[in-house]
Structure 1
Amino acid sequence: MSQTLSGRVLIVEDESLVAMLLETILEDMGCTPVGPASTIDEGLALATGSEPLDAALLDVNVAGRQVFPIAEALKARGVPFVFSTGYGESGLSDEWRGHPTVQKPFTEAAIREALMKAMGVENA
């Protein structure tokens, strides 16, 4: 049984097809996608804005820049997030290892599982 999640989830992803896929996956899970932001600056503006966020999906490499400033901003706000990367957890710096991470190409189930882990939702 697939469990529904709810909440506003920020998407930071520079590949438009991947961003559209993530939007669809989030909507299917019952979440409201925020963004997608396709640059670090756009993502930072959304991450530090006044709009409420319940979670975020962060591509580690966004248009050649690392996503970690956005991760720092979300961490400071207490917003859980999931990294997505073609390199899996080995693509993360030591300080971010152990954080929920999905490896590209990902499945809907992998996104759901990582988001639930990040948001502290128990699997049904």
Structure 2
Amino acid sequence: MTMRVLLVEDEPLIAMMLEDFLEALDKAHAGTAESVGAALSIVEKGEFDAAILDVNLRGGEKSFPIADALAARDIPFVFATGGGGEEIAPEHRDRPRLAKPFTMDGVEKALAALG
């Protein structure tokens, strides 16, 4: 079965690039959320297998509440970050990371690490 991936990304061009990568990697795009609230409503429905979470969202939002909700449901996820990881909340620092700028190879390896 094809892995269905939720994207949490507030930059439309980056989100579109990630969608293209998912398609090229034979993964299904399960939706894109630009904010914590939008992502949490998608998580509630649970119709996906994994997620890529941009750490820093518009308006100073952080994606940690989404990470908490995913962890509670045993849905694997990877943090997308341009930093060295120090901005990731301590309880999530053991999670896989996807470094910016994104490459198809990087996305493929990050998703493979999730199972």
TM-score (norm 2): 0.92
Structure 2 unaligned blocks of 5 or more: none
Q: 1:62 aligns with which of 57, 70, 81?
A: 57
Identical columns (%): 43
Partner of 2:67: 71
Partner of 1:52: 47
Q: 1:37 aligns with which of 33, 37, 41?
A: 33
Q: Is the 8 A contact 1:88 1:101 kept in 2?
A: no
Per-residue deviation at 1:8?
0.8
* Residues 47-67 of structure 1: CA deviation (Å, up to 9, x unaligned): 111x42110000001112010
Amino acid aligned to 1:100: P
Partner Cα distance (1:93, 1:39) in 2: 18
Q: How many corresponding residue pairs? A: 114
Q: 2:103 aligns with which of 104, 107, 119?
A: 107
Per-residue deviation at 1:98?
2.2
Q: Is the 8 A contact 2:64 2:89 kept in 1?
A: no
Partner of 2:17: 21
Runs of 4+ residues deviating >6 angstroms: none
Q: Is the 8 A contact 1:89 1:98 kept in 2?
A: no
Partner Cα distance (1:59, 1:19) in 2: 10
TM-score (norm 1): 0.86
SS at match of 2:86: helix
* Residues 80-123 of structure 1: CA deviation (Å, up to 9, x unaligned): 0010011132221221112110111121111110111122xxxx
Q: Is the 8 A contact 1:88 1:104 kept in 2?
A: no
Partner Cα distance (2:79, 2:35) in 1: 15
Per-residue deviation at 1:39?
1.1
Partner Cα distance (2:44, 2:57) in 1: 18
* Root mean square deviation of aligned Cα: 1.4
